[in-house]
Amino acid sequence: MVAFRNSDTSARTSGLLIRCVLYSLLALGLIIFDKRYDHLGQVRRFLSVVAYPVQVAVASPFAGWNWFRESVTTRDVLRLDKVKLEAELRLANFRLQRYEAIEAESQRLRALRDNTADVADRFVIGNILDLDLDAFRERVLVDKGARDGIFVGQAVLDSGGVFGQVARVEQLTSEVILVSDATHAIPVQINRNGLRTIAVGTGDMSRLKLPYLSTSTDVIAGDLLVTSGLGGGFPAGYPVGTVAEVKRDPAQSLADVEVRPAAALDRSRELMFVWLKPAAAAAASALAMSSAAAPAAAAGKTAAAAVASKSVSTPKPTTPAAKPAKAALNP
Amino acid sequence: MMRNSRIRRVPMALSALAALAFSVMPLPAVLDPFRPDLLVLVVFYWSIESPRAGGLALAFFGGLALDVIRGVVLGQHALALTLMAAWATNLRLRLRVFSVLSQSLTIFTLLTGYQFVLFWVDGATGNPVTAYSRWAAPVIGGLLWPLVAGVLSRNHDR
């Protein structure tokens, strides 16, 4: 039984209604100003700096526990880890040898066709703060903010693939919305056949879906999905997930495709924020490389390279100049 | 009277801060949708226990702090919490003589109202959360009410 004091039974709470109305109007005003006019950016920034110590304080016991667990691991475990990491590094380096050459070649070819995608240019690594922001939205708080140049809409990756994008930036922190959030969608491409579509979150960290594919679409379980770079938010070619299951119901016009995200959405602690190099600059550098590297190429190609290098020298480049290049190649 | 209400500001603020911390504390993903709104229970308790000590101010600023920490639209939790705290203050004389069961049921109703205001603001600002599990929090909050009220009434100075 809960015992309340009976001290104020006779005293009426003066002006309860007035205060209630005042506070409610204030709150409503805040909602409208924050949502409709977005005037509260500065206020929010300030408040979030005040809230930061609380957030860090709440997260710190869990961070401390993780630190403790890491610092008491045995020598054997560390040695096993080291062996495993070395093996992974060797494999990664082996793959990387060809990757750089292929990347450059792909940029050159794309530049000739004038559809160079945005390339990742610069990374900043941030740590996830151990907080549950909202049970019904897949979001995390990261300890990098406006101070570090983070901006809204920025692509965020982890070591496995695309993690999400920045939804809100405060002074010291930023909020990242995961690819699995029910309100998140990302333009993707099936790596096997280049088919473009959109992957939509489900609200479940282990699952995305492709809702816009018809039953006759060429998609099979095991297909790798990569970012298509369309829309400009994400760099092209980063893994988003693999197709886990394709259900085709003949009565429906759309297939039911389930995707396992490539990023470790529920386990990653470190995220990479990506700055893109604008497509025009990337194209120019790729073309500069190609025109420098191919002085003695075949006749048809030199013509194209000549046109292309002209496009580099003119300040307002690729679009008008690359058209004749295509025309020259076509007949 | 005034001295009493001033003395109780400290446990009020401390309990609200603890509840605020609990609202963003990491829980296993399975339990996460069922996290009770502890801050709301704490605000209700103080609204009923000492309505003149500024329960509404606590509701408004506590709600605002929740908005900032959770990163939702500013004023959402503040609005819901203010309205429901005012209602709880209005019901306080009846609540004090209710049995534990009736108290829990009333608190459940208030928590549902709170959840509904949140739901409405979510919808009005364009990101509705339609998961049914969001309505589990009021049930759990109602069940937890005797415990929370018991702990709070034992611990603040008399």
**Which tens digits make up the pLDDT trace of A52-110?**
888 888 888 888 888 888 788 778 888 998 999 999 999 888 888 878 778 777 777 77
Residues in chain A: 331
CB contacts < 8 A, A to B, total 143
Q: Which of A23, A135, A266 sits opposite B60 (nearest CB)?
A: A23
Torsion angles phi and psi, residue A245, rounded to 5: -155, 140
Residues B54-70 as b/e (b if ≥16 CB within 10 A, e otherwise) read: bbbebbbbbbbbbbbbb
Q: Which of A195-199, A210-214, B9-13, B120-124 has the lowest mean pLDDT?
A: B9-13
Determine whether the interchain pair A34/B1 forms a contact, defined as Cβ–Cβ distance below 8 Å. Answer: no
Measured between beta carbons, the chain B residues lying within 8 angstroms of A137 are 127, 129
Measured between beta carbons, the chain A residues lying within 8 angstroms of B134 are 135-136
Across chain A, what does the average pLDDT equal? Answer: 77
Q: What element of type H or E holds A236?
A: none
Distance CA A303, CA A300 (A): 5
Residue ranges in A36-74 assigned as alpha helix (H): 41-71
**For position B129, what pLDDT does the model report?**
74
Torsion angles phi and psi, residue A275, rounded to 5: -105, 135
Q: Which residue of A has its CA nearest to B64?
A: A27
Mutation target vs B (from A132, A174, A207, A269; most B CBs, 10 A cutoff): A132
Residue B158 CA from chain centroid, whole number: 23
Chain A nearest CA to B10, separation (Å): 18
**The pLDDT of residue A9 is above 60:** no
Please name which of B12, B90, B106 lies closest in space to residue B57, comparing C-alpha atoms: B12
Q: For A75, what's the count of Cα atoms within 13 Å in the CB-facing half-sphere? A: 0
Residue that has been written with the tokens 């002074």 in this structure: A171
End-to-end CA distance of chain B: 13
Give strand pairing partners of A123.
A274
**For position A285, what pLDDT does the model report?**
59
Residue A302 CA from chain centroid, whole number: 39
Q: Which of A34, A54, A136 sits opposite B74 (nearest CB)?
A: A34
Distance CA B135, CA B142 (A): 12
Q: Which residue of B has its CA nearest to A11?
A: B52
Chain A nearest CA to B111, separation (Å): 17
Determine whether the interchain pair B149/A24 forms a contact, defined as Cβ–Cβ distance below 8 Å. Answer: no
* pLDDT over 90, % of chain A: 18
Mutation target vs A (from B41, B69, B89, B105; most A CBs, 10 A cutoff): B69
Determine whether the interchain pair A30/B75 forms a contact, defined as Cβ–Cβ distance below 8 Å. Answer: yes
If DSSP states are collapsed to H, E and C, what string results for B60-119? HHHHHHHHHHHCCCCCHHHHHHHHHHHHHHHHHHHHHHCCHHHHHHHHHHHHHHHHHHHH
Checking ipTM against 0.90, whether it exceeds it is no
B126/A300: higher pLDDT: B126
Chain A nearest CA to B80, separation (Å): 8
**For position A284, what pLDDT does the model report?**
57
**For position A283, what pLDDT does the model report?**
56
**The pLDDT of residue A11 is above 50:** no
> For B46-70, how does the pLDDT look when each residue is reduced to its tens digit (9 = 90+)?
888 877 777 788 899 999 988 888 8
Sequence-distant (6+) residues with CB within 8 A of A308 are: A111, A112, A287, A290, A291, A321, A322, A325
Its sign, for the CA torsion B27, B28, B29, B35, is negative
Can you tell me the mean pLDDT for B3-8? Answer: 55
Q: Which of A1, A50, A136 sits opposite B131 (nearest CB)?
A: A136
> For B71-113, how does the pLDDT look when each residue is reduced to its tens digit (9 = 90+)?
788 888 999 999 999 998 888 888 888 888 898 999 999 999 9
Residue B46 CA from chain centroid, whole number: 10
**CA-to-CA dists, residue A96 to A91, A196, A197, angstroms:** 9, 26, 28
Give strand pairing partners of A177.
A139, A165
Q: Which of B33, B63, B90 sits opposite A135 (nearest CB)?
A: B33
Chain A nearest CA to B101, separation (Å): 10
Chain A nearest CA to B65, separation (Å): 8
